[in-house]
Structure 1
Amino acid sequence: MKFQIAVNMERMDASLDMKAVRDHTLDMVKMAEQGGFEIAWAAEHHAMEMTIAPNPFQILTWWGEHTSKIRLGTAVAVAPYWSPIRLAGEAAMTDLLSDGRLEFGIGSGAYQREFDRMHPGLKQSDAWRYMQEMLPAVRALWAGDHELDGDFWNYPVSTSVPKPAQKDVPIWVAARSPITFDYAVKNGYNIQSWPLTRPMSEAELYMERLQEAVDANPGCKRPTMAMMRHTAVYDKPEDVDVPLAAARTQLGQFENYFKNLGDVENGFAKPIPLESLENRAEYDADMLTENLMFGTPDVVIEKLKKYEAIGVDSFIYYASLGLGHKEQKRSLELFCDKVMPAFS
């Protein structure tokens, strides 16, 4: 099993200096490269301090200037917020400036709150249609001249300038529903899945959906499957209280954004009391400790072996969960030094 890292610029409140937040992500990516991670992922989100990433290609290009081996991916570029020509050009420029290290991840978006601001009138549940029109257009623009008369975008003959440095840029789609697994397998795209805070059975469900899609499309190659979890590795079992408290705070903010409650001031969401949620069992402290990639190195190795056993090709270490910078770096240090050698 290989390893990838997702790390965001994030602030839970205004007490953190933005330059320190910025520099922390680069420190983490440098550590990940030195430790043997294969890909570093940057998200796209708007008007929220919990994930400060209005343009993932800017972040990746910056990381690329300070690294040499680790590949650089969007997780994910949100299709409805772009035009095909602009998205193709921005992605290709990042690939060119990083000497062909781009991993192009695309998705349909998560938060209705963002759609209300970035694409007013579009329901999140309909956004997958935009993704499925966008991706073929971007690939065609990378290849040469292309014109589009689509349902959502129209343009005369145009092309991507520049072209990507890679002949074939690896494509990733975010998938949880059967329709997206089928789409990825049919088209030869790699898959990222995120079981959120749900049990291991959720990860097993995604692997079942992948196998069903492969079985339904004979002759199509099985894509690479990457699974993401919030991760915190610590020295002693009793150290769990720190990442657990951080995770519960961040998840309370996540629920506010996700449910589009409107209780957001200057980019900071007021955390929802987790005990008030209908799905509050998903945030039970014992369940979070069990379901997330939390633990001492030995415990984390044992958990990761289960993902390896069900066929996960790459584990995405999700570093950003409201944890302090010092604790994030100690966790990544332990993961590189104590956990990854068990999978070499």
Structure 2
Amino acid sequence: MKFQLAINLERMDDSLDMREVARHTLEMVQMADAGGFTIAWAAEHHALEMTIAPNPFSILAWWANHTSRIRLGTAVIAAPYWHPIKAAGEAAFVDLISGGRLEFGIGSGAYQREFDRMRPGLKQTDAWRYMQEMLPAIRALWKGDYEHDGEFWSFPTSTSCPKPLQAEVPVWVAARAPITYDYAVRHGCNIQSWPLTRDMAEAETYMARMAEALANNPGARRPVMAMMRHTAVYDRKEDWMVPVRAAQRQLSQFENLFKNMGDVENGFPKAIPFDQLGNRAEYDPEMLSRNLMFGTPDEVIAKLKLYEAIGVDEFIYYASLGLGLKEQKRSLELFCQHVIPAFA
């Protein structure tokens, strides 16, 4: 099993200085670069302090200038917010200046709140159609002159300037629904999956969906399957509630966005009180501690062995869960020192 890092510039409130957040985020990526991680991922979100990522290509260019080995990926660009020519050129430029380290992740977009601002009138549930039209266009632009006449974009003959250094840029698709697994397999894309806070049965479901997509597309290349979990490693078992409390706070803000409740002030989503949630069971402390990648190094290794056993190729260490900066650094340090060597 190999390991990837997903990290955001993140503030849960305005008590943190943005300069401190930026320094911390870069230092975490540098630790991952030195510690054996294969990829660092940057997201795309807008007008939200909990995920400060207005342009993931800018973030990757910043990281590229301060790292040497780790590959750099978008997880993911939201296709409806981009024009194919611009997305192709931005991505290729990152590949150029990083020495061919780009991993290109593309998806539909997450929150209706963002669509209401970035693509008014578009329902989040319809956004997958933009992604499926955009990806072939971007790949064609990377190869050379290409004209496009589609449902959402039309442009005369054009090309990506610059071109990527890599002959084939690895492409990743964020997948949960069976239709997306089938699309990824048919189009030679790797897969990122996120079981949220659900148990191992959810992870097994995703593996079954990939197997079904492969069976439906004879001769297709097996994608690399990467699975993401919020991760926190700590020294003492008695510290188990520290990441749980942080996750509860962040996830209650996530509920606000996911349900498009609109209660966001100056970029900070308000946390929804647990007694107002119909899915309170998803915030149970013991369940979160069990299902997420929380634990001492030995406990985390044991959990990861379960993912390895069901065929997960790479694990995405999701560092952004509202945990204190000091605790985030210690967690990543323990992961690099003790967990990664157990899978060497």
TM-score for the superposition, normalised by structure 2: 0.99
Give the equivalent residue in structure 1 for 2:65: 65
Q: What letter corresponds to residue 37 of structure 2 in structure 1?
A: F
Q: What letter corresponds to residue 266 of structure 2 in structure 1?
A: N
Superposed CA RMSD in Å reads 0.6
Equivalent residues in 2 for 1:26-175, closer than 5 Å:
26-175=26-175
Q: What letter corresponds to residue 307 of structure 2 in structure 1?
A: Y
Give the equivalent residue in structure 2 for 1:282: 282
Residues 1:200 and 2:180 aligned together: no
Cα distance in 2 for partners of 1:330, 1:322 equals 14
8 A Cα contact 2:116 2:122, kept in partner: yes
Identify unmatched segments of 5+ residues in structure 2: none
Give the equivalent residue in structure 2 for 1:340: 340
Q: What letter corresponds to residue 241 of structure 2 in structure 1?
A: D
Cα distance in 2 for partners of 1:278, 1:178 equals 26
Give the equivalent residue in structure 1 for 2:5: 5
Give the equivalent residue in structure 2 for 1:22: 22
Cα distance in 2 for partners of 1:275, 1:334 equals 35
Equivalent residues in 2 for 1:171-250, closer than 5 Å:
171-250=171-250
Per the TM alignment, residue 273 of structure 1 is displaced from its structure 2 partner at its CA by: 1.3
1:15-35 deviations in whole A, cap 9, x for unaligned?
A: 100000011111001100111
Cα distance in 2 for partners of 1:280, 1:251 equals 11
8 A Cα contact 2:233 2:300, kept in partner: yes
Per the TM alignment, residue 240 of structure 1 is displaced from its structure 2 partner at its CA by: 1.3
Cα distance in 1 for partners of 2:152, 2:221 equals 30
Q: How many residues align?
A: 344
Cα distance in 2 for partners of 1:275, 1:212 equals 39
Cα distance in 2 for partners of 1:276, 1:307 equals 33
Q: What letter corresponds to residue 139 of structure 1 in structure 2?
A: R
Cα distance in 2 for partners of 1:274, 1:286 equals 15
1:249-276 deviations in whole A, cap 9, x for unaligned?
A: 1001111111111110100011011332
8 A Cα contact 2:241 2:285, kept in partner: no
Q: What letter corresponds to residue 173 of structure 2 in structure 1?
A: V
> Which secondary structure does the structure 2 equivalent of 1:235 belong to?
coil
Identify unmatched segments of 5+ residues in structure 1: none
> Which secondary structure does the structure 2 equivalent of 1:3 belong to?
strand
Cα distance in 1 for partners of 2:308, 2:262 equals 40
1:186-229 deviations in whole A, cap 9, x for unaligned?
A: 11100000000011110000000000001111100110000000
Per the TM alignment, residue 278 of structure 1 is displaced from its structure 2 partner at its CA by: 1.5
Per the TM alignment, residue 242 of structure 1 is displaced from its structure 2 partner at its CA by: 1.2
Cα distance in 2 for partners of 1:214, 1:279 equals 34
Q: What letter corresponds to residue 83 of structure 1 in structure 2?
A: H
Cα distance in 1 for partners of 2:214, 2:16 equals 46
Per the TM alignment, residue 277 of structure 1 is displaced from its structure 2 partner at its CA by: 1.4
> Which secondary structure does the structure 2 equivalent of 1:51 belong to?
coil
Q: What letter corresponds to residue 294 of structure 1 in structure 2?
A: F
Per the TM alignment, residue 164 of structure 1 is displaced from its structure 2 partner at its CA by: 0.6
Runs (4+) off by over 3 Å: none
48-57 or 241-250: which moved more? 241-250
Cα distance in 1 for partners of 2:32, 2:93 equals 24
Cα distance in 2 for partners of 1:221, 1:282 equals 36
> Which secondary structure does the structure 2 equivalent of 1:91 belong to?
helix
Residues 1:315 and 2:325 aligned together: no
Cα distance in 2 for partners of 1:171, 1:145 equals 20
Per the TM alignment, residue 131 of structure 1 is displaced from its structure 2 partner at its CA by: 0.1
> Which secondary structure does the structure 1 equivalent of 2:240 belong to?
helix
Cα distance in 1 for partners of 2:291, 2:17 equals 32
Give the equivalent residue in structure 1 for 2:264: 264
Cα distance in 1 for partners of 2:117, 2:218 equals 41
